[in-house]
């Protein structure tokens, strides 16, 4: 399996001390006092502005990210998660209410507008059966995002996303390797 590689820098524009990472890192403070830019050499990652994969998150693929603020981070990057490459089908069930209640729809492809496609105004829980997905707070894959890997997500509110609506979903199909 090909591994991803991301390099974090203390300052904007790839300046200051750096830290190379090829896996998940729940807290970068033991390597860098702050992180304001990164360069992805291979793979796909989610970067987070809080430790333990919390807070605002942003999807990064091969390329350069010179300024954390352009990624929508309110603070510097504090943790990252490597996204494994998935081959095969994608399946996710979205639910209108917490604990898999209310209306349910099964997705096997991207959905750019949940309201138009399913007449669902809210998505409060989901079950990712296959693949890795990004959920967005606005239609057409815009706004804040959340990374979903296979598993059950009974309550987005309990995960710290109270008051947020998820309006579009996209499969992570990038071959970033």
Domain regions of the chain by residue span? 5-83, 91-171
Confidence of residue 73 (pLDDT cuts 50, 70, 90): confident
Architecture of the domain made up of 5-83: Sandwich (2.60)
Q: Average pLDDT for residues 111-126, to the nearest whole number? A: 93
Compute the distance between CA of residue 140 and CA of residue 109 in angstroms, rounded to an integer.
Answer: 14
3-state SS class at 100: helix
- Is the pTM for the entire model greater than 0.95? no
CA distances from 177 to 62, 89, 173 (A): 8, 19, 11
Fold match between domain 5-83 and domain 91-171: yes
Q: Regarding the domain with residue range 91-171, which homologous superfamily does it belong to in the CATH classification?
A: Crystallins (2.60.20.10)
């Amino acid at each position: 399996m090909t591994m991803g590689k991301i390099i974090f820098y203390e300052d904007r524009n790839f300046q200051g001390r750096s830290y190379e990472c090829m896996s998940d890192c729940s807290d970068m403070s033991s390597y860098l006092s702050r992180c304001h830019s990164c360069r992805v050499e291979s793979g796909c990652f989610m970067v987070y502005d809080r430790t333990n994969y919390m807070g605002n998150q942003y999807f990064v693929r091969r390329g350069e990210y010179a300024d954390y603020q352009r990624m929508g981070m309110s603070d510097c990057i504090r943790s990252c998660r490597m996204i494994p490459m998935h081959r095969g089908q994608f399946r996710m069930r979205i639910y209108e209410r917490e604990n898999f209640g209310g209306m349910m729809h099964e997705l096997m492809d991207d959905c750019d507008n949940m309201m138009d496609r399913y007449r669902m105004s809210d998505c409060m829980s989901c079950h990712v059966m296959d693949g890795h997905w990004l959920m967005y707070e606005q239609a057409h894959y815009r706004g804040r995002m959340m990374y979903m890997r296979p598993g059950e997500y009974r309550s987005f509110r309990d995960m710290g996303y109270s008051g947020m609506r998820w309006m579009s979903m996209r499969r992570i199909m990038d071959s970033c390797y």
